[in-house]
Copies of this chain bind each other. A is one copy, B any other.
Amino acid sequence: METTIELLKEHALKVTPQRLKIIAMLNEYGHLSIEDLYRLMLKEFPNVSLATIYKNINQMAQTRLIQEVKIPDSKSVYEIVKEPHLHMVCDRCHKVEDIIIGTDKIIKEAEAVSGYRIEESFITLRGICPACQADS
């Protein structure tokens, strides 16, 4: 289990309170938009600038500490880079969740059909989450 400070250092980024907070928020919530990050950050750092959020997100994305997740018909969210996974998006409550499922079969099939050498897959599934199914 690695500390947030180590995580920043490994990615050649200086340790600042704002960066620690961004990572802490992503660890807590999983997926957050720029606006989410800014609003939450304001509670603890009332003078934080939106430019700081953008600069940090861009740098962390460049060093692959975090990554952008593009959601159909919605704003992008960001997450800490970890093991490969799929994204589930609920149509009702709009939450984004990770699930871990083997993708080897579909990738092998895609390589066979297309002739591509595949490096990475981005899979997002849209539907209704268990909680929202129960509510209806």
Contacts and interface: CB of A to CB of B under 8 A. Distances in A.
B113 A106 contact: no
Interface string A105-125: 111011101111111111111
A133 interface: yes
A126 B133 contact: no
27 contacts: A68-B72, A68-B73, A70-B71, A70-B72, A72-B122, A88-B114, A88-B118, A97-B114, A99-B110, A99-B114, A100-B113, A101-B113, A105-B106, A107-B125, A114-B129, A114-B130, A115-B133, A116-B127, A117-B128, A117-B133, A118-B125, A120-B125, A120-B126, A121-B123, A121-B125, A122-B123, A122-B125
